[in-house]
Amino acid sequence: AETAEDALDKLEDAELHVDIFVTDVVMPGMDGPTWVRKARETRPNTNVVFVSGYAEDVFGEGSEEIPNSVFLAKPFSLSDLTEVVHQQLS
């Protein structure tokens, strides 16, 4: 999806099967953690891979931890991403 809002719209399709969310942390408009919290209202058990060029502490102190999520720092290779996604799906 082009935006977090577009992604939420796509998730309204009950026929759409989603295995995992892969999202950037910092995005224009709605940020990744906010998007994931909203998406999990209808898809609560979906695992998440957050990616960012910023340090993992970009989530900020006092931020609520997002269960079943991992962080992958940019830059990363396709094999790095594939490995992390595979781990989250296992």
Structure tokens at 17: 């099967």
pTM of the predicted model, to two decimals? 0.85
Residue 60: predicted pLDDT: 54
pLDDT for the residue numbered 41: 95
pLDDT at position 62? 46
Using CA atoms of 62, 67, 69, 70 in order, give the dihedral in degrees to the nearest 10: 60
| pLDDT of the chain, 90 residues: tens digit per residue | 888 999 999 999 999 999 999 999 888 889 899 999 999 999 999 999 999 887 655 565 445 688 999 999 999 999 999 999 999 998
